[in-house]
Structure formats: C-alpha cells, structure tokens
Chain A
Amino acid sequence: MTPDELKTTAEKQREAVGKYPHRVHVCMAAGCISSGSDKVKDALTDELKKAGKDKCCLVKGVGCMGLCSAGPLVEVADSVAGNSVMYKNVTAEDVPALVASLEGKPVPHLLLPKDIPFFTAQHKIVLENFGLIDPDTIADYIMMGGYEALNKALTDMGPAEVLHEVTASGLRGRGGAGYPTGLKWSTVAKAGGGQKYVICNADEGDPGAFMDRSVLESDPHRVLEGMAIAGFAVGANAGYIYVRAEYPLAVKRLKNAIRQAERSGLLGQNIFGTPFNFKIDIRLGAGAFVCGEETALIASIEGLRGQPRPRPPYPAVSGLWGCPTLINNVETLANIPPIIRKGGKWFASIGTEKSKGTKVFALAGQVNNTGLIEVPMGIKLRDIIFDIGGGIPEGRKFKAVQTGGPSGGCIPEQHLDMPVDYESLASVGSIMGSGGMIVMDESSDMVDVAKYFMEFCMTESCGKCVPCRAGTAQMHDLLARIMEGDATMRDLALLEKLCDLVKNTSLCGLGMTAPNPVLSTLQYFREEYTSRLLDGGGNGRHPKTAAAAEVR
C-alpha cells in the first residue's frame, strides 16, 4: 500500500459507512458476547431485512463500549440528525422495538443516558476507536486515521525523530513498573548487532485486569501499528505478540488483523514503499503468571519453562535468542500511534508532571458501573470510584480499592483523594500495576483478601528461587492460621519478617512484590489481623478465638 492508497481506502470506507442514514453499533467484546450480544446483532440484521430497512441502516459489530455491567450495549446513531442514543441490557426480544424506533422516539426502558459521568469523565486516547470501529475490518481502522502514524514515521520522520517524539511524550510503561518508554527504546536502538526483536507483552495475568484483552479485541490494528513503529525506531524487523491462551477471541481477532495488514502491505516487506520490513507472529501463553516478567516471557517464547533469569543483561541488550529485544505492554504500544500522529508535546500536556497521558483501568468488584475506563493521570481515586464507578451498590460502605493485582495493595478510604499516578500509588503501599482496580466494600475480609493473593503467588511461583518458592508457601500457611484463629502475636511477627525477606531477596518481580497485599492490609487494617490472634486481645471474631478467650 502506498500513502495515497491509504488515503483512498480511508475515504472509500468513510463513504461506504456514511451513505447509511442510520447506524447500529453492537458491542462485540467478550463481556457483551457472553451476555448475548452476538444474538442481538443477528436478530438486528434479520429484523432490518424483514422491515426492509437494511439499505438505510448499517449494523456493525464494534469493540468494547466500556460499561460491561450493563451489557449487551447497543448504540444507535442517526447521521442525518447527527445524534446517537445508547441502549443497555438489550436482548434479542428488544430488537423489533429498536428497529421500529429508528425514525421515531428512542425506546425508553432500555435507554442508557450518555451524559452520566461514566462516559463524560473519561479521556480516551487508547480507547478512542472503541465502540466505533469493527475490529475485524482494517478499512474501519484506516478510516479513523489508522496506519497514518506508521506512514508518517516511515516517510516523513526517521528512527531518531520517532525516538525523540516518544521520549518527549513522557510515556511510561503501562505494564506496571512505569519505566520510561523512550529510554527503553533508545537502549535497544543503541544496542549493536544485526537481528533485533520487538515483543508485545499481552500476557495479562493479573486477576481482575482486562485492559489488554479489550484493546486486542476491540482495536487490534492499533497494537500492530505501534509495534511496527517501535520496530522502525529501534531497528527490528520482527515482532512477537505473547498473548494468553485464555483469551481466544483476542487471539482470533489478532490473527485476522495480522492477515489483513499483511495483505494490504502494511506489514511485511517494503512497507509504504520504504526499505522497512516488519513481520509479526503470535505466541500463545499457557497460563503462567510469571511469564509477565520479561525474561520469563522470553524463555516461554523460546519454548522453555517460563522461569526468569537474573538481570543484567537486560533484554534490551540480550533478549530473545540473545538478540537485543524491546518488550512493551499492549497499552504502551497502543499509545504510540496517537503520539506519532499528534506529537509527543500533545501527549505530555495530559496528566501530571511525572505521569503523562492517560491510563486505562478495569473497574470491577463491589462498584455499580463495572467495565473499562480511560482517565487522565492525576485524577482522584474518589472520582473514579464514586463518579465514574457510580459508587458502591446497595448503599454499602466503601472499604478499600485494590490496585496492581497480586503485586499491589489495598488503598483505604483516607487516601481516596490522592491523585492516581505512579509515585502517589507507590507512596501508599500499592502500585499502578497494569490497571486492574477492584473495589471492596465493608463485607470484604481483608485478611482473606491477603490470603487469596498469597495463594495466587504461591501457586504461580515458578520455583526457581528459594525466597519466593518457600517464602510464599510459609506466608500462606501463616495467613491461613490467622484466618482460622490459630495464631499468636509471634506468628504475626514472623509473617512481617517473612514479608521483608521475600521482598528483598527474590529473583524477580513476582517474589519481590508478593508481600505487598499483606503489607498494605497490615498497614491499614491491622486490627483485622490482631483481633483473630489467640493472644491479641481481640474481640474474638472467630469461634475458636472466642473459646480460647473464655478459657483465659
């Protein structure tokens, strides 16, 4: 494809879509599909044909619209009047009413107001195409300005200029640690040697996080484009996407997207008529949380057990098959095309001083509006949970919000007015993480939550280093004993000692962060631990503790 052909494709697609006075967008992401949106879409197509309106109304399966808890979601747009309405909890039975409403008034009982904070308080960069394009159609992505950034990078800019823009944007790794992306790219670009690789880390193992799945399912081309730009900037000609096997729909859409991009000449040899070649392959993960760690991920692509190795050498110097390798998270790469299109300065104008841009969060747990959101860095946690999230269901009381999954911590009420950025979250004992945000209400037992995460780390520990392998098992044992009311102050002291040891002596991030959920719950909810101890002077919440207290 030449740059001119890219423009024509975009125009043609705009025309093809624009000729319909009505458009119906049905969410076809995994969440809504499991609520039955595929049936809704089929019913819509049939019903429109029956009513003879299929020539004036386009039915399109689109990516995630965000509010998963109200799914299946359907948006009906009227291009003549220039407005659109959104419907929630749509079933196949509602379809005749929807079709009948096309030229009339909207169906009132299904209406989902679009002016609620869930939609208005968001700032979409990564999710800009969500709910608008069909992820299985490359022309739809091109229509929205897709692959323009790759074109600009290849034909107008050089690798050095791309690096400069990415560095200027202040983008930091969205996988959790927040390492500056520009710096990482520069290191790989500077590394000598011929063969280099770009790896997209889509092994989203954090339980409670589904941002990467949504991006791959709803806008797969954005990730491919980001990878190709990265490849151009660092001098790599091949890329791998390491994606969880547990995400079959994401894998299917990715495979389709790669095929379409190859066929259009947007991946492969001599992209946009330049000497730049880039190919992308998919590698399936096999259910190992530790493979989110970059050296373990590389081992897994090489067909080995996913066990991390000591760094340095960092993958930027010696990665896949010993070659310099750039590893970025899905969301990081998805931020690249808009940065190249609009410039690093534009991106740096959003967010806080040290955390630029936006962050996608998967909002779940005991909160009214669960789903996918994108907010500017620096927003208050309270705004996310109570405005966008709509607060806690059934009038219960907020207790804590868990960010960062098994590597993060629980943040209590008193820190809700803190801005969301890498440093602030770390200062209260949690981490930004990849973006899972689980809200807990007063019914949640914090010791149980800590035990849950410790069990997760225990089973997911790869077993290579002793502190993590044995330490997580011992900590889990201690937590189980505390839960059962069978522990003493000494056990609690031992638990704290172990936290310190595992944190400081483990080989990789999994072990180093495994104690975080325990430490943060101990910091803010210590009473829940001590009240269960045999000699803690607690209120004897557990029957066994109560019995022991009576004996005393």
Chain B
Amino acid sequence: METAVVENPATSKDTRWKLLTATMRRHGNRPHALIESLHTAQEAFGYIDDVAMKYVAESLRVPLSKVYGVATFYHYFTLKPQGKHTCVVCTGTACYIKGAGQLLQAMEEKYGVSAGETTEDGELSVLTARCFGCCGLAPAAVIDGAVAGKLTVAETLERLDKVIGK
C-alpha cells in the first residue's frame, strides 16, 4: 500500500509499478491513455496517490493539474487508501426502494462509519456505488469483491462481522 516510499517508479522493481508502466507503454505513452493508466494504478495499489499521479503525468506528458482533475472527476477513482475489507452498498433505484439506506444506517450505527469512510482501525471501508446492475437482487452490496443480494440488515451485519473477524 505504501507507494510513497518509492523514489522513482520508473526504475522500481515493484511489479505494481511495472504494470502501470506497461499500460502506458501499450498506449504509446499518449495523453489519451490517462484514464486507462489511472485504472491500472488503482487496480495495482488500491488507490491513486500523489506519487502515482506525478508518474503518470510525467510519462504521458500531461500537466499534473489535469491528471488530478481527471482523477477527482470520476467517482470510480479514489485518492485515499481503503480499509482491509470493503463493503460497497448499491444505491441504485431498485436497491434504494428496497432499503439500501437502512443497510447504510445500520453499518453506521454498528461500526461508526458512514459511506465513504474507513473505520479507525483500518479494517472496514464502507462505500456506495451508483448501481451494480444486479437490480433483480436488490438490495445488494459487494463485500470484498463478492456480490451479495437480497440483503437484510441482520444478514449484512452478520456477513461483515465474519469478514472483519469479530
């Protein structure tokens, strides 16, 4: 997770940096590869930090301000490290009608984190997404990458307790 300790991503032995370099090279280091590169960076590190943004800016010859602009414009990119476990609650229309708000409220009551926050011990991040397209299974959430559908409050909390090992 600590990308900040790396001095020069271009010469780093870290495979995660190599992945990013490869993505940019595949697009000929052209400016239009910006979003693709940020996707690779986020996939590799879990989030996009200043070092990664500067590296992408230099490699693609795009002003850093523009890289920051793009990284903050799109909701999918996050500039903050995530917790060890993540729970992304779908807030699409179907999930909303079927009680996604209650799931979020219950999580806030139990773990003290609202949407977009991470618990103090760094164990759990609660996030929201616009729509997973699993509307047939509303309300849905993605817990550590696995979609869970037709959730109730009790079931959600039980699943979360299990993943964070409480």
Partners in one complex: yes
Task: Tell me the A residues contacting B by CB distance below 8 Å.
Answer: 30-31, 33-35, 68-69, 71, 204-210, 213-214, 245-247, 283-289, 300-306, 362-366, 370-372, 402, 405, 436, 438, 440, 444, 449, 452-453, 456, 462
Decide: A34 near B140, CB < 8 A? Known: A286-B74, A303-B32.
yes
Q: CA separation between A31 and B147, bound complex, in Å?
A: 9
Quick one: which of A207, A286, A363, A440 contacts B76, CB cutoff 8 A? Answer: A286
CA–CA, A213 to B33, complex, Å?
Answer: 24
- B1 CB–A CB distance under 8 Å: no
Chain A residue contacts of B97, Cβ below 8 A: 365-366, 438, 440, 444, 449
Please tell me if the beta carbons of A364 and B70 are within 8 angstroms of each other in the complex. no
State whether the Cβ of B136 lies closer than 8 Å to any Cβ in chain A: yes
List of 9 A-B pairs having minimum Cβ-Cβ separation, nearest first: A68-B136, A34-B147, A210-B133, A286-B74, A207-B92, A287-B76, A364-B135, A208-B93, A287-B75
* Residue of A69, A300, A304, A306 ringed by the most chain B CB atoms within 10 A: A304
Does B35 lie within 8 Å of A364, measured CB to CB? Answer: no
B130 near A289 with CB under 8 A, answer yes
- Residue pair A302, B32 in contact (C-beta under 8 Å): yes
Q: Which residues of B are found within 8 Å of A213, using beta-carbon distances? A: 133
Determine the distance from Cα of A85 to Cα of B96 in the docked complex, in whole angstroms: 34
Q: Beta-carbon contacts of B62-101 to A below 8 Å, as 1s and 0s?
A: 1000000110011111000000000000011111111000
Q: How far is the CB of B86 from chain A (nearest CB, A)?
A: 14
Contacts of A210 in B (CB 8 A): 131, 133-136
Chain A residue at smallest Cβ distance from B67: A303
A304 near B138 with CB under 8 A, answer: no
Establish whether residues A207 and B73, one from each chain, have CB atoms under 8 Å apart when the complex forms.
no
In B11-50, which residues have CB < 8 Å from any A CB? 31-36, 38-39
Other than A287-B129, A303-B32, A363-B136, give 6 A-B pairs with Cβ distance below 8 A. Answer: A30-B133, A210-B133, A300-B35, A305-B74, A365-B97, A370-B138
Closest A residue by C-beta to B33: A303
Contact of B149 with A31 in the complex, beta carbons under 8 Å? yes
Contacts of B133 in A (CB 8 A): 30, 204, 209-210, 213-214, 246-247, 362
- Return the contact of A284 from the options B31, B35, B134, B148 (Cβ within 8 A): B35
Contacts of A30 in B (CB 8 A): 132-134, 147
Q: How far is the CA of A205 from the CA of B131 in the complex (A)?
A: 7
> Given the complex of chains A and B, what is the CA–CA distance between A300 and B76 in angstroms?
13
B137 touches A68 (CB 8 A): yes
Q: B146 within 8 Å of A by Cβ?
A: yes
How many angstroms from the CA of A161 to the CA of B130 in the assembled complex?
Answer: 41
B94's contact among A245, A246, A365, by CB below 8 Å, is which?
A365
Do A402 and B76 form a contact, CB below 8 Å, given A31-B149, A210-B133? no
Q: Which residues of B contact A288 (CB under 8 A)?
A: 73-75
CB of A286 within 8 A of CB of B136, answer no
B39–A207 touching, CB < 8 Å: no
Given contacts A208-B131, A245-B76, A365-B98, contact A35 B149 (CB under 8 A): yes
Min Cβ gap A307→B in Å is: 8
- Write 16 A-B pairs (CB below 8 A) sorted by A numbering: A31-B149, A34-B147, A34-B149, A68-B134, A68-B137, A204-B133, A207-B96, A209-B133, A283-B36, A286-B75, A303-B70, A304-B34, A366-B97, A402-B93, A452-B96, A462-B73
Which residue of the partner chain, among A246, A402, A438, contacts B132 with CB atoms under 8 Å?
A: A246
Task: Write the chain B residue with the least CB distance to A362.
Answer: B135
Q: How far is the CA of A246 from the CA of B134 in the complex (A)?
A: 11
**Which residues on B sit within 8 Å (CB–CB) of A69?**
136-137
With A301-B32, A305-B69 known as contacts, the answer to whether A34 contacts B148 (CB < 8 A) is yes
- Name the one of A34, A209, A440 contacting B131, with C-beta atoms under 8 angstroms: A209
Contact indicator A284/B96 (Cβ below 8 Å) = no
Residue in A closest to B92 when the chains form the complex, CB atoms: A207
- B137 interface neighbour in A35, A285, A301, A366, Cβ under 8 Å: A35
Taking a contact as CB atoms under 8 Å apart, the answer to whether A34 and B134 are in contact is yes
Question: Cα distance A370–B135 when bound, in Å?
Answer: 8
B132 shortest CB reach to chain A, Å:
6
Whole-angstrom distance between the Cβ of A187 and the nearest chain B Cβ: 25
B136 neighbours in A (Cβ, 8 Å): 31, 68-69, 71, 210, 362-364, 370-372
Taking the closest CB of chain B, its distance from the CB of A181, in whole angstroms, is 24
A208 close to B94 (CB less than 8 A): yes
